Amino acid sequence: MSGLKNSPFGKRLRATYQDNEEDGPRRNRQRVNPIFYTATSSTTKDATPESPITTRDMYGDRFVPSRDAGDMRTSYHLMDESGPSTPSKSRIIPTESDALKEQANAIFTSILHTEVTPPSPRRPTSPQRPTTSSSATTTLPPSTPTRKRIFHYTSPATSANPSTPTRRLDTPTDEAYSMSPVRAESRQLLESPHRQLRSVCKTPYRVLDAPDLADDFYLNLVDWSNTNVLGVGLGSCVYLWTAHNAAVSKLCDLAGSNDTVSSVSWVQKGTLLAIGTLSGRMHIYDANTLQVQRSYNNAHTQRIGALAWNSHILSSGSRDRMVHHRDVREPTHRPFKRCAGHRQEVCGLKWARDGGPLASGGNDNKVCIWDLRGSKRASVAGSSTSGSGSVEDAGGSGNGDAPLWKFHEHTAAVKALAWDPHVSGVLATGGGTQDKHIRFWNTFNGTMLSELDTGSQVCNLIWSLTSHELVSTHGFSSTTAQNQICIWKYPTLNMVASLTGHTHRVLYLAMSPDGETIVTGAGDETLRFWNAFPKKEGGEKRETRLDYGRLIR
C-alpha cells in the first residue's frame, strides 16, 4: 500500500481530496469523483449520475456502466446518418438510396440492437467490503481493495446458485460452445433467407444534348412512339431520334409562323405525331414522310399543354381550361365534344388502356375522370365521398359533359397522371411543389387507395410494363435531395431505386415500347436514357385476336 500512496495516482487523489476540503463545509458541497466526473451529493447514500449511463456496480476502483435504461444511440455514441429531416414530412427521399442498401441497413440495425442490448440475466452483485463506520465511508477517497484475487473465475452453472446447479451446459447448442462471434439471434437473422432484390444501374447509358428544352412545368415535350422513335420539342422545332440507329431528323419548324411547341404526343399505333403550340394551334405530322397531315389553327384560344390519343380520337387540354375531343378521320375542324371541369389550366391528360376513361389534371389542384362512352357511376346520384373526403359527384349525367369523378385531395397542380396497366381502374396522380404526394385512386368507386409523401415536387409518372412498379420524376424539394428519378414498388410503395444526374427538375419522362428503358428530360437541356426495368420473361408477347381475355370487358 505504501507504493500506491506514493504513486502519481495516489498523489492525484490526495490533492483532489484536499481541494474539496478547502472549498467549504462538507455538508453543503457535492462529492466529485475525480476519475469519471460524476457528481454525487454527500447527503444521499447512492450516487445519481445525470448522464444516461448509470453506475451499476462498484468493484473497488472499477466502474461498470449500465446502459439498459438509456437511449442506445446516446449511450454508445452512435451517429445518426439520416441527416436533417423536415418535421412536417413523414417520409423524405434520401439522396442516394436503393432497395439493396435499405435491406442491408435494416439487417445491420437489427443485429446491432441484438448484440448491444442482449436479454441477459443481471450480473450478481459483489460482496461489500466491511467498513468501520458510516462516516469513514463518506469521507475516505476510493482505494484499492484489500483482497488479492482481482480475477475470480467461476462456472456459469454454479454462479447463480451453487446449491441448485442448472443443466444449461448440457445443451449442445448453448452459447458457451458457439464458435460464432455473434449471438444465436443474430446468427439466425444472418442465415435466414432474404428476398432477392434487383439492382438498378445508377448511371444513364446515353446522354443527349437538348438545347432550348423548356424548363416549364406545364409543358409536355417528350414522347416515345411504339415504332421506337423519340419525339422532342425544342423551341419552335420538333426533332425525331430513332433508337435503333441513333439517327436524328428534323420534323418541323414553326419559326415561320412565330410559334413555339408546347406539347407532343404519338398515336398508340402508327407514325402520327400530334403537336400543340403556345398560340393554341394543333398539327398532326407523319413521321415517315415528315409531312403535315392535319392542322387545326383555332384548336384552342390559348396554349395547348397536354395531348392524348385514344385510337383515332385526339384529346387536347389548354390554358383556356377546356378539354377538346376530335376525331382525326373527320374533315371538320370542330371538336365533337368539349369538357369543362377545371377552373385553371389543364396541364395533364391521360387515356386509360383499351379505350377506358380519360383522366385530366389541372392547375386548380383537381383531377377529373371523364367517360365519353356514356357510362354512369354504380353509386346513386348525389354526392359520394371517399374515405378521405376528397371525391365529388360532378353531375352524374354520364354523357361526357360533366366528369365521372372529381378528386380534390391534392393541394398543388396535378400534371403527373398514369393508369396502371396491370390493374384495371387504378390511377396514379402526382402533385406539385406544395403537395409532393403521389395518390392512387380506384376510378370504379371513386375512392383513394393509398398515398405516398415523396418530399419533393412530382413532375411525371409512368408505370412499368414488365413489373408492377412506378417511376416518378421530381423537381423542387424541401430537403437536399432534388431532381431525382425514383422507382417505387406497388402496392407496398417501397423505394426500389433513386437515380440522380440531372441538375434541374426532371420535367419530362417517356418509356420505350419494350418497357425496359426510360428517358428523362430536364431544364439542364439534357436527355438521359436509363436501363430501369428487366426484360419480359419468355420474350416479347405479341398481341393477337385469339387472346380473348383482352376482348372481354
> Quick one: pLDDT band at residue 135, thresholds 50, 70, 90?
very low
Residue with cell 466502474: 63
Contact (Cβ atoms closer than 8 angstroms) between residue 487 and residue 470: yes
- H or E stretch covering 419: strand 414-419
Q: In this predicted model, which residue has the larger pLDDT, 281 or 384?
A: 281
Question: To the nearest whole percent, how much of the chain has pLDDT over 70?
Answer: 66
Give the chain's end-to-end CA distance (angstroms, integer): 96
Supply 15's cell numbers. 490533492
pTM: 0.67
413-456: per-residue pLDDT in tens?
999 999 999 999 999 999 999 999 999 999 999 999 999 999 99
Question: To the nearest whole percent, how much of the chain has pLDDT over 90?
Answer: 51
Contact (Cβ atoms closer than 8 angstroms) between residue 413 and residue 362: yes
pLDDT for residue 339 is more than 90: yes
Q: How far apart are CA 76 and CA 454, in angstroms?
A: 32
pLDDT at position 537 = 64
pLDDT for residue 387 is more than 60: no
Q: In this predicted model, which residue has the larger pLDDT, 379 or 105?
A: 105
449-455 LR contacts (CB < 8 Å, sep 24+): 449/491, 450/491, 450/493, 451/409, 452/91, 452/488, 452/493, 453/89, 453/90, 453/91, 454/91, 454/93, 454/430, 454/486, 455/86, 455/89, 455/91, 455/92, 455/93, 455/479, 455/481
> Quick one: pLDDT band at residue 169, thresholds 50, 70, 90?
low
236-256: per-residue pLDDT in tens?
999 999 999 999 999 999 999
pLDDT for residue 394 is more than 60: no
For residue 494, list its beta bridge partners.
489
Weakest mean pLDDT among 15-24, 129-138, 313-322, 487-496: 129-138
pLDDT at position 465 = 93
72-90: per-residue pLDDT in tens?
555 555 555 444 444 344 4
For residue 428, list its beta bridge partners.
418, 440
Q: In this predicted model, which residue has the larger pLDDT, 336 or 73?
A: 336
DSSP secondary structure string for all residues of 75-130 = HTT---TT----TT-S----SS-BHHHHHHHHHHHHHHHHHHS---PPPPPPPPPP
Q: How far apart are CA 357 and CA 443, in angstroms?
A: 9
Contact (Cβ atoms closer than 8 angstroms) between residue 276 and residue 305: yes
Weakest mean pLDDT among 97-101, 424-428, 455-459, 479-483: 97-101
pLDDT at position 534 = 84
Q: In this predicted model, which residue has the larger pLDDT, 92 or 425?
A: 425
Q: In this predicted model, which residue has the larger pLDDT, 382 or 480?
A: 480
Contact (Cβ atoms closer than 8 angstroms) between residue 338 and residue 323: yes
Report the pLDDT averaged over residues 488-498. Answer: 91
Weakest mean pLDDT among 342-346, 361-365, 399-403: 399-403
Residue with cell 418497357: 515
